Amino acid sequence: MDNPEIASVLRRMGLLLQIQGANPFRVRAYENAAHTVDAATEPMAKLVERGADLTVLDGIGKEMAASIAELVTSGSLAKLEELGNEIPVSLVDVVALPGVGPKKARRLWEELGIRDVTALAEAALAGEISRLRGFGARSEQQILAAIERRRKFASRLPLAEVDRLAEPLLAYLRKVPGVRRVEAAGSYRRRRETVGDLDVLAVASKPERLIRAFGEYSRVESLEKAGNTRATVILQSGFQVDLRVVPAKSWGAALVYFTGSKAHNIKLRQRALEHGMRLSEYGVFDESALEEGAGDGDRWSGDYVAGKTEKAVYAALELPWITPELREDRGEIDAAQAKKLPRLVAEKDLRGDLHSHSTWSDGKSSIEEMARAARAKGYEYLAVTDHSPLLAVANGLDRHRLVRQWAEIDAVQARQPEIRILKGLEVDILEDGSLDMDDETLAELDIVLVSIHSHFDLPASAQTERVIKALSHPATRIWAHPLARRFGKRDEIRLDLDAVLHCALEKGVAIEHNALPQRLDLKEVHLLKARELGLMVSIGTDAHAVDQLDLVPYGVEQARRAWLTRKNVLNAMPLARLSRWLEGTRLGP
DNA sequence: GCCGTTTTCGGCCCGACTGTTTTCAGTCG
């Protein structure tokens, strides 16, 4: 059982306990443990196998350690099954609906025998929900609407799609008279690879006017709620956007609060308490002068210390400002306190792109155009890495065409001496792990990427062997889009990534983070692992046309979320250093 | 269920809104 599965079981356990009405702190212990497992770069299975002490991990005590070990060894959790005999596990899906929490789910089950979402929809249509005490006609309609929306739309959208929705909306809101600031917060601002809904924050002299304008935005499908300081709309795409208008003196505190993550906020608040202060979305307040409990319930109680800017809020907690990409409670607060926050890689650090295609295979731009565009971005080098012959649908190159392509590269190189064009190839990894090109040709290339475009569903052990064999080929320099996933289309391949990453380290092979928004592959948790191991990461766009070279920020953002610095990134190397690396000189961070 | 320079008990983040209520529980972020 892998880490995401273990985390999901622990979360399910927490939810069922909540429905059962267990001690809320016990419930939270399960949520915390799930968070830790999710953030762990080492597979729990390996730790358990090795007999490592899991209780050194945050939020994992004796009990959790035993549960995790049980999940790893048996694939199930006796406690969860017992609980499942008492409470239907499918109620977890009912609780996932907005507006339905554990208490309501329990009553729906106990009083109407509702065990899952299907039964809930039937009961709502029959008007049974509104007859329940504590529920009304309105709740019934909201439940039906929530079920309908979940049926029609994916729960989270890829980041790039949300960019397309958010950018015009933010521009529109910024033009409303009286508006002083507008910023999107939430997981969108943290640049998570998928986003569930958009939280927009604003400062405005006339909040009512802004809220009205928000509801009148052309792409709004329905205005769900509208109050004096906040409103919720559903866009035509089914995507939910929340707007909150905050006082200017609370802007920074509100931005921290709504940017999250929730776990990061909780840590910040604990820290505030340790310093005799209280942190809320309104600001940081010094409560040391207050009598015990004197200001309870008053959001402005205590002395206002900070809140206008994020920097001031963090400073009040004796911390440097922490960039949103790191706010996931993965040790960033401790690192900030110790003044050990990394200087994360930025787009300007990149000196070139090591994964691109041309019209020679399935690209839309010529080598000449790609080189010119790369140079215009300020790059020192561009690797042209068209497909190998197996990918016939992509017009993959055999040796004969490849040699002709080299002649063209030489000609373009002569015309554009200011950018180095590397002769590369994205070679298919065949089913048995051998490469789709002869060794002599591979040896002549400047750079060889290997990747999987077929046999995605081999058993994990076979897949692991296959990739290890490919990475062990002496010509291999980069493992491109490692897990071969595509959002909404294809799940990641299954293999023992831990073993493969260790192999890459041993062989001096770099790992790609593919910046195509529908790929974003390797995922951040694995990038964290790559960083720990000291692997080099290549942020490649896989551009199939000149404009796709501009997708590189999506890759940089995920790299930043994984704490990568310039030193971890292969294509942040200047050309001379990269050339030595390609020659086989192992230069790590 | 976890955790501990106030450590083995007694804590555990904060505030607002909604819908259903006659003063608030439940839900959300």
pLDDT band at residue A297 using 50, 70 and 90 as cut-offs: low
Contact A429, A466 (CB under 8 A): yes
Nucleotides of strand B within 7 Å of the protein's CB atoms:
1-3, 11-21, 25-29
Q: How far is CA A179 from CA A165, A250, A412, in A?
A: 20, 15, 51
pLDDT in tens, A64-118: 999 999 999 999 999 999 998 999 999 998 988 888 889 999 999 988 899 999 9
pTM of the model: 0.87
| Shortest CA to C1' contact from A105: nucleotide | B26
Residues 6+ apart with CB under 8 A from A506: none
A142: CB within 7 A of chain B nucleic strand: yes
> Per-residue pLDDT averaged across A52-61, rounded?
92
- The whole-angstrom separation of Cα A552 and Cα A520 is 10
- H or E stretch at A328: none
DSSP element (H, E) containing A473: none
CA distance linking residue A515 with residue A549, whole number of Å: 9
Q: Residue A295: pLDDT band by 50, 70, 90 thresholds? A: very low
CA distance A535 to A527: 9
Strands A240-245 and A198-204: parallel
> Which window residues (247-286, chain A) lie with Cβ within 7 Å of strand B?
258, 262, 265-266, 269-270, 272-273, 278-282
- What is the distance in angstroms measured between the alpha-carbon CA of A227 and the sugar C1' of B17? 9
Long-range contacts (CB closer than 8 Å, 24 or more residues apart) made by A121-129? A121/A147
Q: Which of residues 109-138 of A touch strand B (CB under 7 A)?
A: 130, 133-138
Structure confidence by residue, pLDDT tens digits, A412-467: 999 999 999 999 999 999 999 999 999 999 999 999 999 999 999 899 999 999 99
**Strand B: which residues 335-354 of A lie within 7 A (CB)?**
none
User: Residue A39: pLDDT band by 50, 70, 90 thresholds?
Assistant: confident
In this prediction, residue A586 carries a pLDDT of 42
Between A181-195, A479-493, A540-554, the lowest mean confidence (pLDDT) is in A479-493
- As a whole number of angstroms, the distance between CA A120 and CA A97 comes to 11
| pLDDT category of residue A317 using cuts at 50, 70 and 90 | very high
pLDDT at site A225:
80
At A168, is the secondary structure helix, strand, or coil?
helix
Is the pLDDT score of A399 beyond 90? yes
Residue A293 has pLDDT above 50, yes or no: no
Higher-confidence residue: A554 or A206? A554
> Which nucleotide is nearest, taking the CA of residue A266 and each C1'?
B13
CA of A269: nucleotide with nearest C1'? B13
Q: Which of A's residues 158-197 have CB atoms within 7 A of nucleic strand B?
A: 186, 197
Task: Measure, in angstroms, how far nucleotide B27 C1' is from residue A102 CA.
Answer: 9
A156 touches strand B (CB under 7 A): no
Q: Percentages helix, strand, coil for chain A, rounded to the nearest 5?
A: 50, 15, 35
For residue A298, the model assigns a pLDDT of 66
Give the mean pLDDT of chain A. Answer: 91
